[in-house]
Structure 1
Amino acid sequence: MSTSKTIKENFPVTGLSCASCAISAETILQSHKGVVNAAVNFANNTALVEYQPSVVKPEELKSAVQSVGYDLIIEDSASAKATLEAIQKAKFKALERNTWLSILSALPIVALGMFFMDVEYGNYIQWALATPVVLIFGRQFFVNAWKQANHGNANMDTLVSLSTGIAYLFSVFNTLYPEFWTSRGLHAHVYFEAAVVVIAFILLGKLLEENAKSNTSEAIKKLIGLQPDTVIRIKGDKEEVVRTEDVRVNDVLLVKPGEKVPLDGKVLSGSSYVDESMISGEPVPVLKEKDALVYAGTINQKGSFRFLAEKVGKDTLLAQIIKLVQNAQGSKAPVQKLVDKIAGIFVPAVIGFAIFCLFTWLVLGGENGFTQGLLAMVTVLVIACPCALGLATPTAIMVGVGKGAENGILIKDAESLEEARNVKAIILDKTGTITEGKPDVIGIEWKEGADREHLSALIYSIESQSEHPLADAVVKYFQNMEVKQLPLESFESLTGEGVFASHQGDAYFLGSPKLMSSNAIAIDASLEQKVEEWLSNAYTVIWFADKENTLAAIAIADKIKETSAEAVKALEAMNVDVYMLTGDNLTTAQAVAKQVGILNYKAETMPGDKAAFVKKLQAEGIKVAMVGDGINDSEALALADVSIAMGKGTDIAMDVAKMTLISSDLMHIPRAIKLSRQTVQVIKQNLFWAFIYNLIGIPLAAGILYPFTGFLLNPMLAGGAMALSSISVVANSLRLKYMKM
């Protein structure tokens, strides 16, 4: 292999219907010249391909994938993305339509086949009703089985198509030529109901599976939507509105109040506070003055500024986050479910055994060897049809997901529900996860003898005119106390320090300790003692003073949720290690970790640091769950084995994460882990019951008792046994509803 430079790209893949399809597409890509590595993810229908652009072009990769019956979308355009979305929606709608039509068609066929077998023209009515189910609604099973056969593989689609196809053709033959059997002393049974019930149940299972898969493209679309389509570019003394994609490095751009920063760059003039919570996860906007760095997707507050574009297109921090999330999602191979592993052996074995039964009867069965052998083969395929096997996982998942939703836990895919039981490390973001995610006034300490009512009104009046983000918390605090505003004679914002105002000829200052010292204002000793206590708890303090002395101190903090400490304790009791990673400073991180009982924490972490920490734990063989609420958590959420978002967090975090806590209550995390353990236990029990029927039923269907008792299992009874196995699986899954989380 040449050592020339390689690149990694994510390509959407269409036409995948099962994990085996993904493996086929992956194999053809990996075998192509110039491809270093390829991973096709069936869960989100993408192919992450690392290739040498000097050796192979995307067009060649597309042709290779098309050769095995799938397609690769290589065009990176809005129309291509819209086409992919339309294909996915059409596929889901078709599956949904086919499922319900199959179920509706199956009901009268089962009634005729089980209770009105001797009604006139009953077989023809069943044939008419069964034909669209088998040939139209269940067509995908036969198409997929044919694809697998072309690749030399067999899966559950193979067994479904064989059993339903043989049962259908056998029934058609018996409907048209019943005398073939009656002349030999045998009844010409039809098994249309077995064929349609199998297809209806398996389609229902697939619908549940598709419904559970998260639409990861929505998260990426919303991330891309953070960058505005147009921007104001400054050329000389003129302003012009241009498309963001037309901006070049070193262009000068203007950002007005309330607008999103379009690209990465450096402030040239002006000042404002910018909400960078999408990057840092912290709720307090950051002051941006000359030479300060700004990032694409962040939100400007009340001021305006001009900045020099330094990174454009794919080089911006937002674009890098988008790419990292795409790669993290695409590189995760779908979890190999226990059912698929068993089916990989079970399906070929059943097919082989059914054929073996036919030939054994031909050799040893005498004059009726062929007819009894054919019946035995059909009976084996019918009783072994993986209806219960196909329902074992989705029914338990369906009940588990429903129970989670009733308890405030939204679970987006089955894999994360199954995987949660193995989690040994939980990574928590601080802001919005352990804490409320919004600054509030914790308390106000007044100088002894101060006129609290008058000064409260004065502080409220001053902060109402301030642009500082913390002013909103103060304003909200006094609004709740129904304080009235006072008229101000002057107001001035002192950038980076606070504000100055005058009322009835008196000067007042509101802001940082730096503002107090720069104006030679004396700090009251009793207030200073209280402030030191607040600072030790990582509270932010605002001083209020006249022109000579401090009059009050205001403590502002992001409150810790009431259940955070309880949740940490519950997780540790389940032998799960708890970590806290935050973009906040070390002092605040230490204070919060101490209050909730977390021993392992890291401060001043960027999005990439969180993702790297997830990888580090995974490299040690630890199953990791990531809990977050912001865009800054999205890469780590995508990489984690189990990703959990706060319901009050950003849409991006909720789209990337596979679980969402509606109330943002951390106590739901230990409950989700317990629910996972219960659900997987039920799935294993379901698989046990599904195979017990097969272990007993298949030998009986083959005719093992015939030499001793003359008993040969009727295919009708085989269909009944298959239905009984399905009922037992569904009933066992329903027990989940009554288990305590």
Structure 2
Amino acid sequence: MAEATPTAAPNRANYWLRIEGMTCAGCVNRVGQALESVSGAARAEVNLTTQTARVDALHLPDPQLLVEAVRRVGYEATLLGEPTAGASRTEDRGTATVLRPQRQAIVLALGMGLPVIAIDLLEHTLTGLTPGARFWPRVLQLLLTLLLLRSPAAAPMLVSGLRAALWRVGTMDLLISLGVVTAVLSSALGLFMHHGTAFMHLHAAAMILIFINVGRYLEARARHRTADAVAALMRKIPRTARRVVGERTEEVPLEDVAVGDMLRVVTDEDLPTDGEVVGGVGSVDESMITGESVPVDKEGGDAVSAGTRLASGILTIRASTTGMDTTVARMIRAVQEAQAGRTQMQRLADAVAGVFVPIVVVIAVVTFVGWLLFGGAGGAATGLRSAIAVLVIACPCALGLATPTAVLVATGQAALRGILVRDAAALEAAGRVEVVVLDKTGTLTTGQFGVREMVTAEAAGVTAEQVLRLAASAEQYSTHPLARALVDRARAAGLALNEPHGYEQRTGLGVRAVLDGRQVLVGSAPHLKEAGVDLASLRDAVRRMQSEGRTVVLVAAEGLAMGAIALSDTIRPGASQAVGELKAMGLATAMVTGDQAATAAAVAAAAGIEQVVAQVTPQGKVDRIRAMQAAGRRVAMVGDGTNDAPALAAADAGFAFAAGTEVANAAAHVSLVGSELRLVPLAFRIARQSVRIIKQNLFWAFFYNVVAIP
């Protein structure tokens, strides 16, 4: 056990705790209130997914007070040190491993609970009316139930309920424990004192445990899948770094890298830290930060971010931040903080859970006392039976199944249409959305570049096809996205490509090659100007293309400008139709992207979106969404890139294409299979319908308890 260290001012510190025993949003609410009640604690953030809590404290005399506060409300707590990137990675466990105990509990509950229920239903058929014939089947029922109570399907709930009783805290586990234990004790009393079937409630105890275990498995599966977002982001950080020491390099664990260290990164490696380029040139794939698929050229003095990939070249960087201060670590924190939030219906459930248990217990006690005082000779037996009925009937089976059953139906229907929904909270949030924010690259567009326009220089006397053939022939062995787009267009047009000789690629500028004995240059304006090519005849066309948000590739041969080729991302089919459907449903739309303003405006106009925000960072997307939420609007985010993950998690409902990045899909609440934008409005229609059904189910569940308990 280690104490957290101050992370801000000397008198202010963040304390991290591991919390054990939390199973629902009500637990999160209770633990948070307990932590904030400690003198000196300013704010507590409790994360059900990671089973941790972070407390911002001022002048806290003893961190152990936080542990004691958690224990007073019926949970276990342990102080932790502040998490690091390495620690977070070592704690990463697969969903299957985490859910194995829950699956085992379901198997045990079904294996021992179903025979108990079957004996109760078939008792008359098996034993007939012979006096005493039902004794041994009921003994078997009791033995199976006792084994069930000692199994993982019931024992953890009973222990949690006992802890809650000792700390005088009303929890759902306490209510479940009271109902189950009372049903078992009354059944044993009825069995051995020959009171007949009046006190036999073993089948009810078995049903309660089966329903609760199934419900908790579904909840745990949804909850732990949210942790996949953090795990996927962590995988973007390499475990080691290549540190430069004098004239050599040494591979060291990432935890040993300090600010100011010189690090060497080669092609196809992920950058280990944020830093500044001090040597070499290269192209860095920053799609996880900006969402743009075109690598960005880097040279001396340029900043680079941890988790991005060096597409080509060799860089020497000076580490500027390490550990949990890097860009990717900040993205991880943004995802964790967003996932710790709760929806309006969850807050309502918390409030109900806080008063439901004590009210039911009081009603059960009043029922027993009332029969005892006014029920005559048989009042005690009748009162006990009635009190047990209150506890058993009031167990949260109906409340617990009201949402999962609706979710199972809705998510099943959605899945058949290629829409994968994480859980009930995602359906609820999507059904209440008012604004839909869409990313550009990979969302409104395909993320794949295509040739949009070709312009030839008059003095060159060539056709557009000849310019394309020169460019594609020179670039045919390059892996750059723009080069692939040129080659694909040429082959689609049926052009025969020449074999390049003397091929030379200059990172960030372009390529040089000899085709049919002619020196050919393909690339940026600086690349051609450096070789003495006069671009005056193409200047106006290039400016126009760039103003339309397109990337321009210039072509020259033997020192003479041949032409310019404009490329841009491809609008996703059905984008404008999907946006139109969203507007018809009364939803406002906006586009937020890290791309240039001109490019963003062009795509937005094609898709029919009026509100555009360009050149924003991943954190900037989160800030935009939170600003809308602060204004009282419920916001959905649609994205596909790693850079969209914090915004997807921060939104009330996050949508990601299944073909997008692993990080985006893990952070999103809804995954869209098939990468078709038409699924977005369809998902909202299903969500709205499911929210109506959930509300109806909850109404009837409460109505059942209100009517059945009296």
* TM-score normalised by structure 1 residue count: 0.85
Deviation at 1:479, TM superposition (A): 4.6
Greater Cα offset, 423-432 or 237-246: 237-246
Q: Which residue of 1 aligns with 2:487?
A: 475
Specify the alignment match of 1:134 in structure 2. 149
Tell me how far apart the structure 2 counterparts of residues 537 and 364 of structure 1 sit (CA, whole Å): 87
Q: Quick check: 1:641 aligned with 2:656? A: no
Q: Which runs of 5+ in 2 are unaligned?
A: 1-7, 128-132
2:665 matched to which residue of 1?
A: 654
Q: Secondary structure at the match of 2:252?
A: strand
Equivalence for 2:585: 574
587-596 vs 166-175, greater mean Cα deviation: 166-175
Offset from partner CA, 1:450-494 (integer Å, 9 cap, x none) = 477776554333112557542122233335556554243434445
Measured against aligned partners, the alpha-carbon deviations of 1:687-725 in whole angstroms (never above 9, x if no partner) come to 3333444444333xxxxxxxxxxxxxxxxxxxxxxxxxx
CA distance in 2 between partners of 1:34 and 1:339 (Å): 29
Matched, 1:145 2:161: yes
Match of 2:123 among 104, 116, 122: 116
> Offset at 1:331?
5.6
Give the conservation status (yes or no) of the 8 Å contact 2:551–2:568.
yes
> Hey, what's the Cα distance between the residues in 1 that align with 2:298 and 2:664?
26
Structure 2 counterpart of 1:164: 180
- 2:3 corresponds in structure 1 to none
Q: 1:599 maps to which residue?
A: 610
Q: What's the CA shift string for 1:75-104, capped at 9, x where partnerless?
A: 447996588667997763222222232223
Summarize deviations over 1:123-170 as a string: whole Å, max 9, x none: 112212222223432223322322333343323333322222222111
Q: CA deviation at 1:580?
A: 0.7
Indicate yes or no: 2:42 matched with 1:36: yes
Letter in 2 for 1:575: G
| 1:461 is aligned to 2:473 | yes
Deviation at 1:583, TM superposition (A): 0.9
Please say if 1:278 is aligned against 2:294: no
Aligned residues: 689
Match of 1:718 in 2: none
Aligned to 1:390: 400
Q: Distance in 2 between matches of 1:545 and 1:90?
A: 59
Q: 1:541 aligns with which of 546, 549, 552?
A: 552
- Listed one character per residue, the Cα deviations across residues 550-604 of structure 1 (whole Å, up to 9, x for unaligned) are 4443232111111221121112222222111111111111111111111111111
- Residue 661 of structure 1: how far off its partner (Å): 1.5
User: Measured at CA, do residues 265 and 363 of structure 1 come closer, stay the same or move farther in structure 2, by a change above 3 Å?
Assistant: closer
Query: Structure 1: how far apart are the matches of 2:592 and 2:89?
Result: 37
CA contact (8 A) 2:283 2:507 kept: no
Point out the more displaced range, 328-337 or 575-584: 328-337
- The equivalent of 1:501 in structure 2 is 513
**1:191 and 1:491, CA in 2 relative to 1: closer, same or farther beyond 3 A?**
closer
- 1:240 to 1:126, Cα distance in 2 relative to 1, 3 A: closer
Give me the whole-angstrom Cα distance separating, in 1, the residues matched to 2:93 and 2:306.
Answer: 29
After superposition, the Cα gap between the structure-2 partners of 1:447 and 1:535, relative to the gap in structure 1 and judged at 3 Å, is same
Equivalent residue for 1:305, pick from 315, 339, 342:
315
AA at the equivalent of 2:305: Y
8 Å Cα contact 1:16/1:70 also seen in 2: no
Distance 1:481 1:401 in 2: 44
Inter-partner Cα distance in structure 2 for 1:83 and 1:490: 48
**Aligned letter for 2:684?**
I
Q: What amino acid does structure 2 have at the position aligned with 1:139?
A: A
Aligned to 2:429: 419
Letter in 2 for 1:390: G
The answer for the alignment partner of 2:5 in structure 1 is none
- Report the equivalent of 1:627: 638
Which deviates more from structure 2 when the two are superposed, residues 433-442 or residues 580-589? 433-442
Corresponding residue of 1:726: none
Query: Counterpart of 1:240 in 2: which secondary structure?
Result: strand
Alignment equivalent of 2:678, drawn from 652, 658, 667: 667
Partner of 1:612: 623
Is 1:14 the counterpart of 2:26 in the alignment? no
Structure 1 residues 37, 129: closer, same or farther in 2, change over 3 A? Answer: same
Deviation at residue 256 of structure 1 after TM alignment:
1.3
Structure 1 residue ranges without an equivalent (≥5): 700-741
Cross-structure match for 1:510: 522
| Secondary structure class of the residue paired with 2:553 | strand
Counterpart Cα distance in 1 of 2:497 and 2:307 = 36
- My pick for the range that moved more, 68-77 or 606-615, is 68-77
Q: In 1, distance between residues paired with 2:145 and 2:457?
A: 86
Q: After superposition, where does 1:347-362 map in structure 2 within 5 Å? A: 347-362=357-372
Cα deviation, 1:155-194, whole Å, max 9, x if unaligned, reads: 333332222222211111111120xx3xxxx765522212
Residue 399 to residue 316, structure 1, CA distance change in 2 (3 Å): same
1:685 aligns with 2:696: yes
1:177 pairs with 2:184: no
Task: Report the residue type matching 2:370 in the other structure.
Answer: T
User: TM-score, normalised to structure 2's length?
Assistant: 0.88
Give how far 1:548 is off.
5.9
SS in 1 for 2:56: strand
Shift of 1:345: 3.8
Name the structure 1 match of 2:219: 209
Distance 1:382-1:257 versus aligned 2 partners, 3 A rule: closer
Q: Determine helix, strand or coil for the equivalent of 2:277.
A: strand
Whole-angstrom distance in 1 between the partners of 2:448 and 2:39: 53
Change (3 A) 1:437 1:57: farther
Structure 1 residues 469 and 5, CA, compared in 2 at 3 Å: closer, same or farther? farther
Does the aligned pair in 2 maintain the 1:354–1:377 contact within 8 Å? Answer: yes
2:415 maps to a residue whose letter is: A
Partners of 1:48 and 1:331 within 8 A in 2:
no
Cα distance in 2, alignment partners of residues 91 and 306 from structure 1: 40
- 1:629–1:381 CA distance, 2 compared to 1 (3 A): same
Alpha-carbon distance in structure 2 between the residues aligned to 1:242 and 1:80: 17
Change (3 A) 1:488 1:290: same
- Evaluate the alpha carbon distance shift between residue 428 and residue 130 of structure 1 in structure 2; reply closer, same or farther with a 3 A threshold: same
Find the aligned partners of 2:592 and 2:573 in 1 and give their Cα distance: 19
Letter matched to residue 39 of structure 1: E
Q: Secondary structure at the match of 1:93?
A: helix
Q: Structure 2 residue aligned with 1:199, among 202, 209, 213? A: 209
Question: After the TM superposition, which residues 523-538 of structure 1 pair with which residues of structure 2 at under 5 Å, given as runs?
Answer: 534-535=545-546, 537-538=548-549
Alpha-carbon distance between aligned partners in 2 of 1:605 and 1:464, rounded to the nearest angstrom: 34
Q: Which residue in 2 is equivalent to 1:95?
A: 102
**Structure 2 SS opposite 1:301:** strand
Q: Distance in 2 between matches of 1:304 and 1:3?
A: 39
Counterpart of 1:224 in structure 2 is 234
Amino acid at match of 1:155: T
